[in-house]
């Protein structure tokens, strides 16, 4: 399977614990995005990387959240001191960004469903 993969698919954790999710994008894609989706809502942008550089972070991304893409390939999203409000589906997407294009597709992974008890 050459699509975007995410691990784990499900995570249940107790409030106050730290969790880390991994995303492996499509191999030639230079851009990687993290989104969060709660029930009944569309995905909300969290952050994105071009290669290894983190170019933008949403104000939704509090200081308890950190994301990395150390070698410009896979990415990790860590949430420290989890709260019940962090319960959501965390989606990763990747795209191949050509500066000449303004129309492109982001390919989404299956997501990691986080439940904080």
Which residues of the chain form contacts with another protein (CB under 8 A)?
31, 33, 35, 40-45, 48, 55-56, 58, 91, 95, 97, 102-106, 108-111
Q: Please, which residue, 54 or 80, has the CB nearer to another protein?
A: 54
In whole angstroms, give the CA distance from residue 21 to residue 86. 13
Q: Please, which residue, 25 or 43, has the CB nearer to another protein?
A: 43
Q: Least Å distance between CB 97 and another protein?
A: 7
Q: Please, which residue, 25 or 111, has the CB nearer to another protein?
A: 111
End-to-end CA separation in angstroms for the chain: 33
Q: Least Å distance between CB 115 and another protein?
A: 14
CA distances from 60 to 25, 64, 97 (A): 22, 10, 24
Q: Which positions ≥6 away from 40 have C-beta within 8 Å?
A: none
């Amino acid at each position: 399977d050459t699509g975007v993969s995410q691990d784990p698919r499900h995570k249940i954790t107790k409030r106050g614990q730290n969790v880390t999710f991994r995303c492996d994008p499509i191999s030639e894609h230079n851009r990687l995005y993290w989104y969060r989706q709660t029930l009944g809502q569309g995905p909300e942008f969290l952050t994105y990387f071009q290669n290894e550089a983190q170019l933008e972070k949403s104000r939704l991304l509090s200081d308890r959240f950190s994301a990395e893409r150390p070698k410009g390939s896979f990415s990790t999203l860590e949430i420290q001191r989890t709260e019940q409000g962090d319960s959501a589906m965390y989606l990763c997407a990747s795209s191949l960004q050509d500066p000449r294009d303004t129309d492109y597709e982001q390919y989404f992974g299956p997501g990691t469903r986080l439940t904080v008890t």
